[in-house]
Amino acid sequence: MSDLLTVLVDGILYSSWLFIIAVGLTLIYGVMKILNMAHGSLYALGAYAAASLAGYWLNHGYAPLGSYGMLALAAVIVGLVMGPLIERGLLRFMYGKDEILLLIVTFALFLILEDVIKLIWGVDPFFISEPYGLLGSLDFAGLSYPAYNLIMIGVSLASGIGLLWILQYTRQGKLLLAVIHDREVSLAMGINVNRFYLITFTAGAMLAAIGGAFTAPTVSVVPGMGVEVIVLAFAVVVIGGLGSLQGAALGALIVGLVRSTAVHYLPEIELFSIYLVMALVLLLKPQGLYSAMEARKI
Amino acid sequence: MKQKQLFSIKLFPGICFVTFLALTSILGWTIPAGAADEKPIKIGVVTFLSGGAAGPFGVPARNGAEVLTEALNMGGKVPTPYATKGFGGAPIELVFIDEAGGVTKQVTEYRNLVQRQNVDLVIGYISSGDAIAIPPVAEELKKLTIIFDAGTPRIFEDGSYKYVFRTGAHATMDNVAAAYYVTENKKIKKIAGINQNYAWGQDSWNDFEAAMKALNPGVQVAVSQMPKLFAGQYGAEISSLLSSGAEVVHSSFWGGDLEAFVLQAAPRGLFKKSTVVLTAGETAMFRLANQIPAGTVIGGRGPHGVFAPDNELNRWFRKAYQERYALFPTYPAYKMVQAILGVKAAYEKAMAAAGGKAPNQDQIIAALENLTYETPSGKVEMALGKGHQAIQGTAYGTVKHVKGQLTIANIKHYPAAKVNPPEGVKSEDWIKSGFKKTK
Amino acid sequence: MKRMDYTFRILTGALAALLVIGPFLPQWMLFQVTVSFGKGLVVLGLLLLLRTGLVSFGQGLYYCLGAYTAGSLGLSLGLTDAVLSLLCGAAVAGFIAFILGFLLANYRGIFFAMLSLAFSMILYGLLVKTAFLGSTDGFNVGVPTLFGFMFSGRWVRYAVYALACLTVFLAALIMNRYLKTSLGRLSPAIKDNEIRVEYMGASVRRAIHIKYVIAAILAGAGGALTAITIGHIDPEMAYWTTSGEFVFITILGGTGNVLAPFLGSLIFESIRSFAYEYSPNTWQMVLGAALLLVIIFLPAGLWSVFQARQRRV
C-alpha cells in the first residue's frame, strides 16, 4: 500500500515539474500556432539567470528566504527581455508562413541561444541549492521529501490556474480567446492582434523561464539542459492536445504517473515509457486528449 | 538575350558546384608555415567543448592540454624526464575540435583533421562510441591516434590496431576496485545501482554487479535504476533506492546528472541509509564540496587528482594548472597530460634510437608499444592489447569534512595487476572467473 | 523529338562530372560529398512528404533501420557487399514503413510529426537496451566490397563515392519522373486541400501511404550508405535530433527540385565542418545563423535561386 502511495507521490511531483515546463509551450502554440523549439533555451536561460541572481543574493548575506523572490525575479527578467526581443526582432516577420518553417526558425534560434548561453556563462555548472534545502523535509509514507517540492507544486498550480482565470474572467483574456479562435475576424473586429502576439510570446517565454528558474535549485545548471526538456514538453503537450491548458495538465499527470510506475516496477522501460504513452494516446485519440474541433476547409 | 540566359541557366548549378569545391579546397588546404627545422608538431585534440560533458570532462582536458603544451614549448619548465622543449625540441601546436554531435560527425571531422589540416597525430575522445568508431579509420588513414579517456574495454578486446593507443586504463578497473573497496571490511548482502541508460552506465553496472557476486557469493541485487542520460529529475528513482534496503548503492553518474542526483538524494537521507559509491565522483567533488555527504565513496578513474601520488611531476602540474585556471585539475586533465606525455616519451625514445634525428611515425609507434613511463599520476604501463592499452593502479576513498573542508579519508590504492585483466583475457570473462591471474 | 528535361540534363551532366573529377579530389572532400549524399537521400524522401504537406520528425527511424540492416549483414552473415547492403537497408525500411504506414496515413500536420517521432524514439530505446548490438556505443561496419571485389587504399573511398553518386542519380531521376506522374502530382493537391482530392476520386490515405513508404525506402538506403561510408553505426541515428537535422536540411535546400536536397546537404555539411574547424566553441551559432539567413532571404530554400531564373525563361 505504501508502495502505491510512493508511486503516486513521485508521479505527482514529476507531473508538477512537467506541467511547469510545458504550459508556456502550449500557450504559445494555442495562440500563435508556433511550436517553439527555443522553449528549451528559454528554460535554460531562466535557470542560469536564477542561479546567478539568487547566488548573488545569498553571497551578499541577504535573507535566505528572499532567494525565492530572486528565482521569480530572474524568470520575469528573462521573459521581459527575451520575449519581446524574439517576437519583435524575428518572429513577426514570419507570421502567415508555414507552421513547419516557423518550427525551423525557432530551431535555428535554439542553436544560436545555446551558444549565447555558453558565451555568457561558460560550460562550468552552476549550483543554487540553498533554496532547495531551506524549508527542510517532510515525511510522507515512510520516505522523506524536501519541502521545496511543495513550492514546485504551488508554482505549477499558480501558473495553470492563473492562466485559466485570465482567459476566462478578464476582458483581455476573452479578447485573446477570440484571437485564438479566429485571427482574421478578430482583426476585422478591431482587436490589435499584434499586441496579443507580443504579450502571448512574452508570457510564454516567461513561463519557460519560470520552469527553469524553479528547477535550478534541484539540479546543476549545465549547458545542454534545454535540449532535454524540449521533447519532454512536446510529448506532454501533444498527449494533452496542442494548445489546450487542461490538456497539458492531464498530459503531465499521465506522463508523470506512468514514469513513476515504470521506475518503481519496471525500470527497464523507463527510457521509452513516455514515447509509448505518446504513441498509444495518439493512436486512440489522433488529436490528443483535449483537442479543439477544427473546421474543415472545402 | 534569351539565348544567353538559357546558357547561363544550364551551367549555373554546375558553376555553383565547382565554385563550392574550389572554395572548400582553398579554405581547407592550410599552407605549412615556418622553416623546416622549426616545423611544429601539429596535434589534433578532440574533446567536448559544448553540451553536458564539456564542463566535467571536455574543458578540464582542454585546459590540461593547454597548460602542458605551453610549458613544454618554453622548454625546461616541466620537471624531468620531460624538461626538453616540445617533442625532442620541436614545438607543439594544438588544433581543437568539439567532440559533440555524434559519431557520424566525429568520423568526418577526424578525416578532415588528418587529410585537410594535416595533423601529425590525434589525441582525443571521451565518448566510448567515438572511441570505437575512430580506430578503423585511423588504420585506414595510417595516423597515430591516442585515445585519452573513453572507458569501454571493447576497443582492444574486440580489435587489434597498429596506429591506435589508449593511454588511460579502461573502465573495468573502476568498478572492480569499487567492489573491492566496499567489501574490504564487511560482507555485503544487498546492493542497488543507479546508472545512466547508455553503454557507459550499463557496462559499469554489469562489471560492478559481476565483481560483487565474485567477491560476495550470494549477494542480492535489490534494484537497478537506469534513468535516461541527462534526465535531471530523479525523485522516483531515489524513492525506489530508499525503500530497496540496499547497503551499497553504485553509481557511475557524471557531470550534471551526478550533481543533480547528489543534490536531490542527500536531503532525503539516501547517503545515510546506504553507502553510496560514485565511480566518477572525483570530477564533481570540488564543486559539490558542501553537498556531498560524509561517508560517500569516491573514485577518480585512476590515480588522478586527489588520488595522485606526491611526486615532482604532480606538484608541478597542480601548481601550473591552479595558477592558470584558479581550480584544481580533475582527472580528465590528468588523463590528457598522461596522453601527451606518453607521446613525448615515445617520441624522444625513438629519437634517441634514430641517432637524434626526428623519428618517423612508425618509429614513434614502435617506441610507444609496451612503453612504461612516468606521469603526474605515477607509472603508466602499456601492457594490454599488444602493448597499445595502458594499465594503471587506481584508488578509492571516503568523503570526510574537516573544518568545513572536503577531504578524502581512508584512501586505498589498488595495484594495476589486481584490478586489470591479464593480457588476452576479456574483462567480462576475467571478472566472472573470479579474477584469475592467467588464461 | 521531345525536349529533354532540364533536371535530367543537369543530373546526367553532374553524374559524369562527379565521376570524372572524383579521383582528383582530396580524400576528405570525397568523403564529405559521400556523407552528404547519404543524408541527401533521406532528405529527398522528406521533400516528397513535405510537398504533400507532411513533416516527419522520425525519419531517423528508417535511416537507422537501413544502417543497422547493413551493419547486421556484416555482423551476422559476413556480407559486406555495398550494393546488397543498400538494397537490403532500403527493403527493410520500406517494409516497416509499409506496416506503420497504415497507422500514420491517418495523421496530418504536427500530429504526423510527433507520432513519427515517437516511433523513432521507441526504436532508439530498444537499441539502447540491446547489449549485443553494443547499446549506445554501436558497432563497427567492415570495409565494403563491390560484387565480391575488394578495393585497396584510396580506391575504397572512391568506390563508395561512385556508388553514392550513382544511387543519388537513380533516386533523383526516378523521383523526378514520379513527381510528374498522376500520383506524384497529387502531392501539392493533398497539401492544398485533401477534401477536394477525395471528391475527385483519389484516395488520399493510399497516396500518403505510398509516399511514406517511398520516403522510408530512400531513408533506408541513405542509412545503409552512411553505415558503409562511416564504418560505424549507433542508436543516435534514430534519435530525434538526427531526424530534426534532416528536416533542417530539407528547408535549407528547398523543395523546388529533386536536386535541392543534395545541394542543401552538401552546403549544410560544409558549413558545419568549417564551423567546427574555425569556431569550435560557437559552431552551433554559426549553423543557426546561416539557417536563419537562408529562411529570411530565400524562404523557398537555396534551390529557389535557380528556380527563379528558370521561371523567367
Cα C175–chain centre separation: 12
Chain C residues within 8 A of B4 when measuring between CB atoms: none
Residue B299's φ and ψ, nearest 5 degrees, are -125, 160
Compute CA distances A164 → A27, A179, B357, whole Å: 11, 16, 78
Residue B297's φ and ψ, nearest 5 degrees, are -90, 130
Amino acid letter, residue C36: S
Nearest one of B153, B112, B38, B77 to C280, comparing CA atoms: B112
Chain A residues within 8 A of B263 when measuring between CB atoms: 127, 129, 132, 217-220
Contact between C252 and C267 under an 8 Å Cβ cutoff? The reply is yes
Nearest one of B336, B338, B318 to B391, comparing CA atoms: B338
Contact between B55 and B333 under an 8 Å Cβ cutoff? The reply is no
Please give the grid coordinates belonging to residue A260: 513513476
- Closest partner CB to B225 (pick from A3, A220, A263): A263
DSSP SS3 for B190:
strand
Q: Which of A110, A149, A219 to mutate to test the interface with B (most CBs of B within 10 A)?
A: A219
Contact C17 B14 (CB under 8 A): yes
Q: What is the mean pLDDT of residues B312-328?
A: 94
- DSSP β-bridge partners for residue B41: B92
Strand pairing class (A143-146; B220-225): unpaired
Q: What is the mean pLDDT of residues B294-317?
A: 94
Nearest residue of B to residue A138 by CA position? B268
Nearest one of A73, A59, C230 to B132, comparing CA atoms: C230
Nearest one of B253, C235, C140 to A272, comparing CA atoms: C235
Contact between B370 and B391 under an 8 Å Cβ cutoff? The reply is no
The whole-number pLDDT of residue C309 equals 56
- CB contact A105 to C (< 8 Å): yes
Contact C292 A108 (CB under 8 A): yes
The rounded mean pLDDT for chain B is 89
Q: What is the mean pLDDT of residues B165-176?
A: 94
Please give the grid coordinates belonging to residue B145: 591516434
Cα C276–chain centre separation: 23
Contact between C20 and C76 under an 8 Å Cβ cutoff? The reply is no
CA distance C42 to chain B (A): 15
Chain A residues within 8 A of B237 when measuring between CB atoms: 263
Measured CA to CA, the distance from residue B199 to residue C236 in angstroms comes to 12
Q: Answer yes or no: is pLDDT of B1 > 80.
A: no
Band the pLDDT of B10: cuts 50, 70, 90.
Answer: very low
Strand pairing class (B378-384; B372-375): antiparallel
Q: Answer yes or no: is pLDDT of B12 > 70.
A: no
The pTM of the full predicted model, rounded to 2 decimals, is 0.91
Please count the helices (runs of H) and the strands (runs of E) in chain C: 13, 2
Chain A residues within 8 A of B267 when measuring between CB atoms: 132-133, 137, 144, 146
Chains that touch C (3 or more CB pairs under 8 A): A, B
Measured CA to CA, the distance from residue B340 to residue B123 in angstroms comes to 8
Q: Which long-range contacts (CB under 8 A, 24 or more apart) does B124-127 make?
A: B124/B44, B124/B45, B124/B46, B124/B47, B124/B97, B124/B99, B124/B148, B125/B46, B125/B99, B125/B149, B125/B150, B126/B47, B126/B48, B126/B53, B126/B57, B126/B58, B126/B61, B126/B99, B126/B150, B126/B332, B127/B48, B127/B53, B127/B99
The whole-number pLDDT of residue A207 equals 96
Measured CA to CA, the distance from residue C95 to residue A266 in angstroms comes to 31
- DSSP β-bridge partners for residue B401: B406
Residue whose grid cell is 557524471 = B254
Measured CA to CA, the distance from residue C307 to residue C303 in angstroms comes to 6
Establish how many alpha carbons lie within 13 A of residue A56's alpha carbon, considering only the half-sphere containing its beta carbon.
10
DSSP conformation class of B55: I
Nearest residue of B to residue C138 by CA position? B129
Please count the helices (runs of H) and the strands (runs of E) in chain B: 15, 15
Band the pLDDT of B405: cuts 50, 70, 90.
Answer: confident
Alpha-helix runs per DSSP H in B29-78: 59-74
Band the pLDDT of B2: cuts 50, 70, 90.
Answer: very low
Residues C249/C253/C254/C260 CA torsion (nearest 10 deg): -120
Chains that touch A (3 or more CB pairs under 8 A): B, C
Contacts of B305 (CB under 8 A, 6+ apart): B282, B328, B329, B330, B331, B334
Contact A115 C119 (CB under 8 A): no
Chain C residues within 8 A of B124 when measuring between CB atoms: none
Share of chain C above pLDDT 90, in %: 60
What does each of the 298 residues of chain A score in pLDDT, given as a tens digit? 468 899 999 999 999 999 999 999 999 998 998 999 999 999 999 999 999 999 999 999 888 899 999 999 999 999 999 999 999 999 998 888 888 888 889 999 999 999 999 999 998 889 888 899 888 898 887 889 999 999 999 999 999 999 999 998 999 999 998 888 888 888 898 899 999 999 999 999 999 999 999 999 999 999 888 888 988 899 899 899 888 899 999 999 999 999 999 999 988 888 888 888 988 998 888 888 887 655 555 5
Residue whose grid cell is 516497416 = C96
Nearest one of B331, B430, B342, B332 to B387, comparing CA atoms: B342
Please count the helices (runs of H) and the strands (runs of E) in chain A: 12, 2
Please give the grid coordinates belonging to residue B217: 557469493
Chain A residues within 8 A of C128 when measuring between CB atoms: 271
Contacts of C100 (CB under 8 A, 6+ apart): C119, C212
Tell me which H or E stretch contains A144: strand A143-146
- DSSP β-bridge partners for residue B409: B398
Give the length of chain B.
439
Task: Work out the number of other CB atoms within 10 angstroms of the CB of residue B30.
Answer: 12
The whole-number pLDDT of residue A285 equals 86
Chain C residues within 8 A of B6 when measuring between CB atoms: 313
Count how many pairs of residues, chain A against chain C, have C-beta atoms within 8 Å.
112
Measured CA to CA, the distance from residue A134 to residue C130 in angstroms comes to 43
Contact between A16 and A196 under an 8 Å Cβ cutoff? The reply is no
Contact between A205 and A255 under an 8 Å Cβ cutoff? The reply is no
Q: What crossing angle do the helices spanning A99-121 and A225-240 adopt, rounded to 10°?
A: 150
Band the pLDDT of B21: cuts 50, 70, 90.
Answer: low
Q: What string of DSSP letters covers C68-113?
A: HHHHHIIIII---BHHHHHHHHHHHHHHHHHHHHHHHTT--HHHHH
The whole-number pLDDT of residue C3 equals 55
Please give the grid coordinates belonging to residue A214: 524553479
DSSP SS3 for C44:
helix
Q: What string of DSSP letters covers B239-306?
A: HHHHTTT-SEEEE---HHHHHHHHHHHGGGTHHHHSEEEETTGGGGTTTTTTTSPTT-EEE-SSS-GG
Name the residue with higher pLDDT: B130 or B8.
B130
DSSP SS3 for A265:
helix
> Burial letters for A115-152: b for 16+ Cβ neighbours within 10 Å, e otherwise?
bbbbeebebbbbbbbebbbbeebeeebebbbbebbebb
Contact A218 B263 (CB under 8 A): yes
Amino acid letter, residue A71: L
Contacts of B274 (CB under 8 A, 6+ apart): B192, B241, B246, B247, B248, B249
C123-144: per-residue pLDDT in tens?
A: 999 999 888 898 889 999 988 8
Measured CA to CA, the distance from residue C159 to residue A161 in angstroms comes to 63
Contacts of C226 (CB under 8 A, 6+ apart): B104, C35, C38, C39, C63, C67, C237
Task: Work out the number of other CB atoms within 10 angstroms of the CB of residue B59.
Answer: 21
The whole-number pLDDT of residue B24 equals 54
Q: Answer yes or no: is pLDDT of B423 > 80.
A: yes
Please give the grid coordinates belonging to residue A11: 508521479
Contact B24 C274 (CB under 8 A): yes
Q: What crossing angle do the helices spanning C204-230 and C27-51 adopt, rounded to 10°?
A: 170
